[in-house]
Structure 1
Amino acid sequence: MKKLYPLLFLAAWLLAACSNHEKDIVSISGIIKGLGNDTLYIYGTDRLYNRLDTLTVKEDKISTQLEIDTLISAWLRFSDGTEIPIYMNKGEKIEINGSATCLDSLYIKGNTANEKLSLFRQKIERDTTLTAQALEDSAKVFIQNNLTSPASLYVLDKYLVQKTSPDFPEIKKLIEGMTGELKEYLYVENLLRQIETAEKTEPGKMAPYFQLPSSEGKDLKRTDFKDKYLLLHFWASWDEKSKESNQMLRKIYKDKKKHKDFEILGISLDTDKDLWKEAIENDTLTWKQACDCKGWNSDIIEQFNIRALPTNILLTPTGKIEGRNLTQEQLEERLKEIVKEKKQTKK
């Protein structure tokens, strides 16, 4: 009888160990019609899940298990480059269903975050009449109704942050309403740092100091354009929208004689000096050009909070930031005002 106790204890321990192991597993299954045989990838979006897992699809069917020990936010990446957010926790059974012809409308269930986000994404995808403003309003309502859900961070990023000119005060307000757990996500920490930088480069603030090598081989800095309005134009030779923007600036720069108090400085995000100089010549860019060939890693990108190309920033003669992303009409109107202001000061 004495020998039986250790055996019973060992059996109980093994049973508990197996039970705990099962709790650390998340199962993923489902059918995506038309996907056939494929390999998908799941990778984490924060420090809680910093690995890459593969997910095999056979005849449209998904079936796999992953070991995780907490709620994690991840991306499900398809072979065509489409990425779908997915949320998983230990012990959950995640189910993915939909069609390969419309991956943005996949329905993912197994927890509240996946289900609510799936319904939101499907609603957005189906409503073709939604204006940009209506889309933003819908995103804000979703976030305000899901202040404890990591799905809110995806909606915040996709519909409110990833814009040419995000409304950072509004974004900060939404983050302030979220739970402390969400605020600890690496994404939120990075976003708040980005907002802090953006606030330093708002209209009315002094432009940060910069010094960059020019296309002529000399260093250019802000003080080289003293007593002039200076338009900083961030662009790249590989960006199609930048070419359109340069074309617009060429029209404005033609009237340079009328606007002696105005200058343009093109700041390229190219990493290849030859391609940069070739673009300057081919596109007939006659204003000053600068580039340190560091691309998005250039210090000036962070200094001026550049998140998209092209971006323009208008500086006053005293070095203050007057405006960002001015249209051709706005620039032309402002130049007319500058000429009038100059005439009045001469009287």
Structure 2
Amino acid sequence: MKKVCLLYFLLIALFACSEKKTDSISLNGEIKGLGNDTIYLYGSDRMYDRMDTLIVENDKFSTTLSVDTLVSTILLFSDGTEYPLFLDKGHKIQIKGSAAELSSLQISGNAPNKDLTDFNQELKGLGTPSEKALEEKVENFITKHPSSLANIYLLDKYFVQKPQPNLEQIKQLTDRMTGDLKDRPYMETLLKRIEEEEKVDIGKTAPYFRIRNTEGKDINRSDFKDKYLLIQFWASWDTISREKNAMFRRIYKKEQKNKNFALMGISLDLDREKWLEAVKQDTLKWEQTCEYSGWDGEVAKLFCIHTLPANILISPRGKIEGKNLDEKAIEDKLKEIARKEKEK
């Protein structure tokens, strides 16, 4: 009887161990030309909130990971290249590729990895496709694979990350996805952001705001009555913002006597002294304001500013005329304004 019981408990233990093994992920890869290196693996959202290290020796690497459900992660290579990797318990993931083409890896082991691999292989066959052709490929992919986790990555890369994303187009694409995908943390955040940005989309009325300038005086939208107002969002700590200041200096120099146009800077700085120092260093002579609240500033939130630099053009009637305009677009708009004034 004791032997039977012992055998019974051994079988239970073995079964438990085998069950535990199937929950783990086997990850093996060979990337020719990578040599001895380190790859970092991190989660693209809170469903995989950690970072793992993959040690590469003679182009090869392998590890065992554990997750509770299907998650989206990112492979980060030492040259800065990032590539999505989808993981789920019990899967055996195989990664193959070349160090010369880290943005086009072949990954197998589950449906979303295969979906993305097939998609990228199709793109390679197109040579150098136009932006429109790329968008059409992504639209077709999402339509054919409504439940693929790869959809979120493709939507973000080809539509959301644009300087001026088409919110209506993004909404239409998300409508084609299954409910499970829409419940993902990224999608919840995206859909909420779209809802907020629609309130300040081109053609909508700009929200009222009040903010203090370098002298501590309150500045609001009505101070620029009867003028086109170009609001420049920047920060002293943002390198690209500082570089863009040169463009706004040129615009200000040309238009400072224009009675129908005004330029205003809104900084996302936290430190008053650093902000004022940057204003002086960059010779920003037009109206400069700051809330010292960074991304939590009320005005930045009102206009749904998520990246820097950014700019918004408001008409004398308070309508949003343009967003994130480059120098040529601003110059063209100013010519249009001048033409309208002459026609009056």
| TM-score of the pair, normalised by structure 1 | 0.88
Amino acid at match of 1:203: I
* 2:151 match: 152
Once the two structures are superposed, the pairs formed by residues 299-310 of structure 1 within 5 Å of their partners are: 299-310=298-309
149 and 227 in structure 1: CA distance in 2 versus 1, 3 angstrom threshold:
same
Q: Which residue of 1 aligns with 2:171?
A: 172
What amino acid sits opposite 1:188 in the alignment?
A: M
- Once the two structures are superposed, residues 76-104 of structure 1 have per-residue CA deviations (whole angstroms, 9 ceiling, x without a partner) of 22233322111111111101111223211
Give 1:125 shift.
Answer: 5.4
Contact 1:259 1:335 (8 Å CA) reproduced = no
Contact 1:259-1:339 at 8 Å conserved across structures? no
CA separation of 1:29/1:268 partners in 2, compared to 1, >3 Å: closer, same or farther? same
The separation in 2 between residues aligned to 1:152 and 1:135, in whole angstroms, is 14
Map of 2:56 onto structure 1: 57
User: Which stretch shifts more, 143-152 or 201-210?
Assistant: 201-210
Q: Identify if the C-alpha distance between structure 1 residues 242 and 70 changes in structure 2 by more than 3 Å, giving closer, same or farther.
A: closer
Greater mean alpha carbon deviation, residues 241-250 or residues 149-158:
241-250
**Helix, strand or coil at the partner of 2:74:** strand
- 2:91 matched residue in structure 1: 92
- Alignment check: 8 A CA contact 2:142 2:176 kept: no
Number of residue pairs matched? 344
Aligned pairs for 1:102-251 (under 5 A) are 102-124=101-123, 127-237=126-236, 242=241, 245-251=244-250
SS at match of 2:11: helix
Q: Which amino acid aligns with 2:52?
A: D
Contact 1:104/1:122 (8 A) holds in 2: no
Query: Which whole-Å deviations, capped at 9, do the CAs of 1:190-219 have from their partners, x for residues lacking one?
Result: 000110111000123222233333233333
Match of 2:70 in 1: 71
- 8 Å CA contact 1:104, 1:125 repeated in 2: no
Kept after mapping to 2: 8 A contact 1:268/1:289? yes
Change (3 A) 1:25 1:334: closer
Contact 1:41 1:54 (C-alpha < 8 Å) held by counterparts = yes
Q: Quick one: percent identity of the two aligned structures?
A: 50
CA distance in 1, matches of 2:52, 2:335: 58
TM-score (norm 2): 0.89
Task: Indicate the SS of the match to 1:80.
Answer: coil
Give the drift of 1:274.
4.5
Structure 1 segments unaligned to the other structure (5+ residues): none
Residues 230, 314 of structure 1: 8 Å contact kept: yes
Contact 1:215 1:277 in 2 (8 A): yes
Point out where structure 2 has 5 or more consecutive residues left out of the alignment: none
Structure-2 separation of matches of 1:293 and 1:128: 47
- 1:316-327 alignment to 2 at 5 Å? 316-327=315-326
1:233-287 superposed Cα distances (whole Å, 9 cap, x missing partner): 1234565654564444444433446621321101233455455434433443321
Does the C-alpha gap of structure 1 residues 296 and 127 become closer, same or farther in structure 2, counting only changes over 3 Å? farther
- Pair 1:117–1:168, CA change in 2 (3 A): same
CA distance in 1, matches of 2:242, 2:46: 38
Q: Provide the aligned C-alpha RMSD in A.
A: 2.6
Q: Label 1:256 to 1:78 Cα distance change in 2 as closer, same or farther (>3 A).
A: closer
Which aligned segments of 4 or more residues in structure 1 are displaced greater than 6 angstroms? none
